[in-house]
Amino acid sequence: MDPSQTYDVPQRIGLLYDFLNSLDLRRYIEHGRTHEPSDRFPDEEALSTWMRRRGLLDAGDSLAQADFLAAIGLRAAIRSFVEAEPGARNASPAALGLNAIAARFPLLIRVPARPSPWLTPQQGSSRLGLLLVQLCDLAQSGELDRLKMCASDDCKWIFFDRSKPGNRRWCSTTLCGNRHKIRSYRERQRASRAI
C-alpha cells in the first residue's frame, strides 16, 4: 500500500507524497520492529514499474539511466527543499538545487475552456513533471509550508501537517515527538547531575 493511502494526505498531492517517501530513512524501533532505511527505487526498473502503475510511463517503456538519475536527483532536490525551514525555503540553497533539476522536467501552461489554466508536463518530457505541478499547486493554495520533513534525525519522513496552527515538527507526536522529549529530558537530568 502506498504511504498516501496509509496516512492522512490530500489526494491531490498523493503522487508527490509517495514519490518523496519512496526514500525511507527511518531507523528507530517501533513495537519491537526495527525500521531499516530503504529505497523503493534502487534501479531503473523499480522506478519504471512504479511510474507505469501510475500512468507516468507507457506500458513496455523503461527509463534510461540518465532519466533515472534525473528522477532520483529530483526526489533529492524536493526533499531538501521540504527540509528547509518554511519561511526561508525560497532563499535557501535547496531552492537553487530544485530550480536546477526542474529544468529537466519542463512544464507548459494550458488554457482551454476551463475555469482556470493549469500546468502539465511538456510533450516528450518526463511525466514526473507532475510532481512539480503538485508542488506548485500546494504553493498556489498556500499549503506548501504544511509539507514538511520530520525533525527527528531517526526519521526524516515527509508529512503533511494538518494541525490547525500548522506548526508540527514531527510526523508523529506520539512516536518521533515523544522520543525527542524523552531524550531532551534525559539530557537535562544528566546535565543537572553533572553540576
In tens, the pLDDT along 127-165 reads 999 999 999 999 999 999 999 999 998 999 999 999 999
Domain limits for position 62: 3-194
Q: Which residue has the cell 526542474?
A: 102
Answer yes or no: is pLDDT of 188 > 80: no
Task: Give the lowest-confidence range in 6-10, 100-104, 186-190.
Answer: 186-190
Q: How many domains does the chain have?
A: 1
Q: How confident is the model at residue 68 (pLDDT cuts 50, 70, 90)?
A: very high
More confident residue, 182 or 67: 67
* Contacts (Cβ under 8 Å, ≥6 apart) of 158: 17, 20, 21, 79, 82, 147, 148, 149, 150, 171
Please state whether the predicted TM-score (pTM) of the whole model is above 0.75. Answer: yes
Residues 58-71, mean pLDDT to the nearest whole number? 95
- pLDDT digit string, tens, across residues 78-126: 999 999 988 889 899 999 999 999 999 999 998 876 677 888 999 989 9
pLDDT at 180 over 60: no
Q: Does residue 1 have a pLDDT over 90?
A: no
The DSSP line for 112-150 is SSSSS-EEEEPTTS-TTHHHHHHHHHHHHTT-GGGEEE-
The pLDDT score that the predictor gives to residue 42 is 97
Q: What is the CATH number of the domain that holds 38?
A: 1.10.3300.10
Work out the burial of residue 172: count CB atoms within 10 Å of its CB; fewer than 13 is exposed, 13-18 middle, 19 or more buried.
Answer: middle
